[in-house]
Structure 1
Amino acid sequence: MSNPEIAKSIKTGSYNTNYHDLGEGEVILFIHGSGPGVSAYANWRLSMPVLAEKFRVIAPDMVGFGYSDRPEDITYSMDIWVEQAIDLMDALNIKKFNIVGNSFGGGLAISLAIKYPERLNKIVLMGAMGVEFEITAGLDQAWGYTPSIENMKSLLDTFAYSRVLVTDELAQMRYEASIRPGFQESFGSMFPAPRQSSVSAMASNEEDIKKIDKDVLIIHGRDDKVIPFENSIRLHNLITKSQLHGFGECGHWSQIEHKDRFNKLLVEFFSEK
């Protein structure tokens, strides 16, 4: 049986990136979060086909995650992931693109907007990092994950507002992804204790964030236990051309917990001229 998480492969810098490439038209780059067992497919499987009806959707596994390479000599950092995103777009000969960033990916989208403003059109930040905050118990639990099916079920309970979405099948899929060879070694090296320093490493300077002059749609679950809803309020206050959409009865996974509304928001936002 083929694995839907494995798609195309392309050389980015000195390593290979696994990426999904669907649809045609204006380009939207989707960046996943940083939970254990994550991949672009696991994160965006309910959004990619819908957005690909009108746009070209590109969703990579960031280096160290999913089915992209895990180089032995790498020190993971926001700079590494930002360069990978730009290298990927360069390799695909894409000059300008929109971006959707979830959690860690939101922090990365903010870094990209600051470092490469000329490359970006519109930005969607979902449950985003990118500002300083006191690490939550939920984020500490995610980054401190050690593999077991019980730990994964507990973690997914933290991520989602409703147990209905957190099926045993989903827990099994993410658990199996988290025990693939080399995964725990790379994941464990990304966010070492004390993990507050990793929150800081994902944060951009607020004065730089204020200078972002793109149209930005900020989406957050009001009941998020991983990344505080207050983060998005702060980002909304910092970014002049931003709009904020909060989902009630929603945890850290707006794109799964409120998938139809989430996808509709994105289609409308990216369709507006």
Structure 2
Amino acid sequence: MKFKNLKYLFLLCLSLTMTAQDLSQLKPLDAELTAVSYPFPVTFKIIKNQGQDLKMAYMEAKPNNPNGKTIVLLHGKNFNAYYFEQTARRLQQEGFRVIMPDQIGFGKSSKPKQYQFSFQQLAENTKSILDDLKINKFLLLGHSMGGMLATKIAVMYPESIEKLILVNPIGLEDYRKFSPYQNVDKQYAAELKNTYQSYKDYQLKFYYDGKWKPEYDPWLNLLAGWTISEDFPITAWNAALTSDMIYTQPVVDDFEKITTPTLLIIGTRDRTAIGKANAPKELQPLMGLYQNLGKETQKKIKNSKLVELENVGHSPHIEVFDRFIKPLLEFVKITNLT
């Protein structure tokens, strides 16, 4: 018994030491990540809407040997465009021009105090960047929340989208059927409680199956750095507003409206679901079942293909890049989807 207690104390001390080492690398980050250098040139577009002038950041990776195609990468809620670096470099090598926006409320873009977030508004903002760049036709990839946005863009601008790729998108189910509504004030209070450790625990559980690797640190630190910054109240407020958007604006009815050739890349271990913690306990196990949701969604989207990645979580392009990039490249290079 004494030995077991000593062993427990040793493991506890080791855990605390590792946490302290992790936290020692964490630096406070301002709301627009001005101290963070992105891997590709960043341009800022002034977005004029809702009575405000807002800055929307985007990266552009130009290929040395262009194939004449452009692909737009849309980030998830807990991320920004930076985490597409490896994907963008590979697509760049294949001749693609790659555009990676930070949506309003994310990354280096403005964090407004008041803003009516909607997927339609974010779609218009994104399209305006492409219009400025004279890009009329493009391929579109969305991960997580970016998958919901990509779905909306595909429905709003079908003539512009050559191919659509959805990578573990959230919104494959209507969360309102499972979880009661939490107003923005409650969402904000919850966001303000987040810390480095709470973000890491969440990502360990839903993204990486409890196995952390050093290459995950940059994406965690970009998020957690806000929690120790004086700008945390405004970044947390924007996080609450976008959570409200995701919950109140489901896209499940949009899938059958998609006419663009579509690839679904689904890590089947994923269990991500908005509002799961607030759902009745008996319903929580029924949420975020991606091994089922991928198949159900593929049936709704005409001219679509499903690639399931077994034992992979929410972020395949980070967790298992080689398994993710192979079907992606095969899809973007073919001329017809069969």
Interval containing the TM-score (normalised by the shorter chain): 0.7 to 0.9
Cα displacement string for residues 195-253 of structure 1 (whole angstroms, at most 9, x for unaligned residues): 6x6444342252x4213121100011111021421332222010121111111121101
- Unmatched 5+ stretches in structure 2: 1-34, 49-53, 274-287
Verify the 8 A CA contact 1:129 1:203 in the aligned structure 2: no
| Cα 1:263/1:241, change in 2 over 3 Å | same
| Cα 1:183/1:239, change in 2 over 3 Å | farther
| Cα 1:56/1:168, change in 2 over 3 Å | closer
Verify the 8 A CA contact 2:172 2:293 in the aligned structure 1: yes
Instruction: Give the C-alpha shift of residue 191 in structure 1.
Output: 3.5
Aligned partner of 2:197 in structure 1 is: 150
Q: Secondary structure at the match of 1:90?
A: helix
| Cα 1:174/1:189, change in 2 over 3 Å | closer
Q: Secondary structure at the match of 1:47?
A: helix
User: What is the identity percentage for the equivalent residue pairs of Structure 1 and Structure 2?
Assistant: 25
Aligned partner of 1:272 in structure 2 is: 334
| Cα 1:18/1:180, change in 2 over 3 Å | farther
Aligned partner of 2:208 in structure 1 is: 160
Range with bigger deviation, 98-107 or 45-54: 45-54
Q: For residue 87 of structure 2, what is the amino acid of its counterpart?
A: S
1:50 maps onto 2:102 in alignment:
no
1:238 maps onto 2:285 in alignment:
no
Verify the 8 A CA contact 2:55 2:109 in the aligned structure 1: yes
Instruction: Give the C-alpha shift of residue 181 in structure 1.
Output: 5.2
Q: How does 1:68-107 map to 2 (within 5 A)?
A: 68-107=109-148
Range with bigger deviation, 143-152 or 102-111: 143-152
Aligned-partner Cα distance in 2 for 1:5–1:179: 24
| Cα 1:205/1:152, change in 2 over 3 Å | closer
Instruction: Give the C-alpha shift of residue 270 in structure 1.
Output: 0.7
Instruction: Give the C-alpha shift of residue 131 in structure 1.
Output: 3.8
83, 89, 110: which one aligns with 2:151:
110
Verify the 8 A CA contact 2:47 2:125 in the aligned structure 1: yes
Paired residues, number: 264
Q: Secondary structure at the match of 2:259?
A: coil
73, 77, 81: which one aligns with 1:34:
77
Range with bigger deviation, 58-67 or 69-78: 69-78
Q: For residue 52 of structure 1, what is the amino acid of its counterpart?
A: Q
- Unmatched 5+ stretches in structure 1: none
| Cα 1:19/1:180, change in 2 over 3 Å | farther
Aligned-partner Cα distance in 1 for 2:216–2:69: 37
Instruction: Give the C-alpha shift of residue 183 in structure 1.
Output: 5.1
Verify the 8 A CA contact 1:12 1:87 in the aligned structure 2: no
What TM-score comes out, normalization by structure 1 length?
0.85
Aligned-partner Cα distance in 2 for 1:243–1:179: 43
Q: For residue 94 of structure 1, what is the amino acid of its counterpart?
A: I
| Cα 1:177/1:91, change in 2 over 3 Å | farther
| Cα 1:187/1:76, change in 2 over 3 Å | farther
Verify the 8 A CA contact 1:39 1:61 in the aligned structure 2: yes
Instruction: Give the C-alpha shift of residue 149 in structure 1.
Output: 1.8
Cα displacement string for residues 23-68 of structure 1 (whole angstroms, at most 9, x for unaligned residues): 2430000000001xx21012x1221101111211111111110001
Aligned-partner Cα distance in 1 for 2:212–2:235: 31
Q: Which has the larger radius of gyration?
A: 2
Cα displacement string for residues 110-153 of structure 1 (whole angstroms, at most 9, x for unaligned residues): 1111111111110000111344333799xx9x994433221122
Aligned-partner Cα distance in 2 for 1:221–1:32: 16
1:16 maps onto 2:78 in alignment:
no
Q: For residue 264 of structure 1, what is the amino acid of its counterpart?
A: K
Aligned partner of 2:318 in structure 1 is: 256
Aligned partner of 2:237 in structure 1 is: 188
Instruction: Give the C-alpha shift of residue 177 in structure 1.
Output: 4.7
Aligned-partner Cα distance in 1 for 2:174–2:248: 11
RMSD: 2.8
Aligned partner of 1:204 in structure 2 is: 251
Range with bigger deviation, 46-55 or 123-132: 123-132
Instruction: Give the C-alpha shift of residue 268 in structure 1.
Output: 1.4
Verify the 8 A CA contact 1:61 1:68 in the aligned structure 2: yes
| Cα 1:215/1:132, change in 2 over 3 Å | same
Verify the 8 A CA contact 2:117 2:245 in the aligned structure 1: no
Aligned-partner Cα distance in 1 for 2:217–2:298: 36
